[in-house]
A and B are shown apart, each in its own frame.
Chain A
Amino acid sequence: MPAFRNIRLCGKDCLCLYVCPTGATDTENSIIDVDKCIECMACVKACISGAISMIPNKYPTQQAKAEDVVAAQFLLASNKLKQQQLADAVTNSTESDIEKQFAQAIARSCRLMAEDVLREAGYLLPQSQQARKLLEAVQQEASEDFPHQAVELLLSNL
């Protein structure tokens, strides 16, 4: 469970530097060095800005999702994705820079809604069984340009 600094909250008071026994908090890019962090939490307790927290290593089993909820969420998300595709098509074909800008905003918005709705259809956590099953299912992809290494990395790391 390594410490993580939220740079947006960091007030540069540097108490984390004073208390860190391994120098993990003292980096040129402000990102705490996870290889040096011994998870002692001294920096979390010392920071007056509340800018440091511990990232969990383990997550609980996810809440089960009811079948009709999943089905309805997928139906909605699927329609949002079709709208994203249509907006992409408008973006690529329109001559007007204003219409293009508007279509890009719509595409982005539709994508975000679809992602969020699917997240709540049982795909909240990368480490969940549902995510693993999906990765195993797509591993069957035979196409040459399929990024097999990406799936292998995820199945072994998560």
Chain B
Amino acid sequence: MQKYRCSICGFVYDEARGIPDRDVAPGTLWADIAEDFACPICRAAKRMFQPVQDSQTLWQPTQATQPAQPAESTQVTQPAQPAESISAKPESTTLPNHRELSAAEISAVFSNLAKGCEKQRKLAEMDAFNQLADYFWQKAKDESDANLSDIQSLLDTDISSGLPTARTAAEAEADRGALRSLVWSEKVSLVMKSLLDLYAADGEAMLRDTKVFVCEICGYIHIGNSAPELCPVCKVPSFKITEVERS
């Protein structure tokens, strides 16, 4: 019996166990699984699965009887770097030139700093950063028409060049913080791409009888009747995975 891992979210299909919840009986071989099979966690297509080479099982679905396994060993987690490590250089003074940042970029930097203030319980500062983020987002507003396929083509650029380029740079500098953000963004982007592909093929039927959730930490989009117990990308518990309601 072989195991196959979803290259997007890490879900493992174990031929020995099947997926009884989805009427896949224990002992069902991967080859016998329908071609339109979708990952029960992230809906990735069957072709996105790869055989598990080692005996180590990295992650199990939360609806299985086993508890979730620890995060995969190769995943870069948030570094707890020493305050004054030897490699710590003083903060750079050359980067970036703030005059050249777009209003949208400034907005996103500020809304994230607002979250940093919230975590430090500095609520007046959080409000101030959010006010600035809103101001710059209004400035960045683009009134032009768009459809989902426009998003798809930009997303393809991220997957084919933006993410790999950033990853190469972060690896060369051994920048674990940047690598961590890129590992998450890559997974979230791939899940988003497979959902957009599905939507393009099946249309609204894909979402008609189900709910939509977004992980507040990493942005992972989950389609299902309830939020997963743990985010398959960043492993945050379900209380930080919120539903996007239908109006």
A residues with a Cβ closer than 8 A to B are 2, 4, 8, 34, 55-56, 60-87, 89-90, 93, 96-106, 108-126, 128-131, 133-134, 137-138, 145-147, 149-151, 153-154, 157-158
Contact = CB atoms under 8 A, between A and B. Distances in A.
Interface in B199-214: 199, 204, 207-208, 212-214
A69 B178 CA distance: 8
Interface in B108-138: 108-113, 115-117, 120-122, 124-125, 127-129, 131-132, 135-136
B168 to A, nearest CB: 8
A68 B180 CA distance: 16
A112 B216 contact: yes
B124 A157 contact: yes
Contact of A109 (B111, B172, B204, B214): B214
A86 B146 contact: yes
B151 A86 contact: yes
A65 B95 contact: yes
A64 B154 contact: no
A145 B131 CA distance: 11
Contacts, number: 261
A157 B162 CA distance: 36
A130 B94 CA distance: 10
B204 A99 contact: yes
A147 B140 contact: no
Nearest to A125: B116
Given A66-B173, A118-B105, A85 B140 contact: yes
B189 interface: yes
Nearest to A100: B247
A86 B150 contact: yes
Contacts of B147: 90
B127 to A, nearest CB: 8
A133 to B, nearest CB: 6
Contact of A76 (B104, B166, B204): B166
Interface stretch (B23-31, B48-56, B64-72, B82-90): B82-90
Contacts of B22: none
Given A4-B121, A64-B91, A112-B188, 6 more contacts: A55-B121, A85-B141, A85-B146, A102-B195, A117-B181, A137-B99
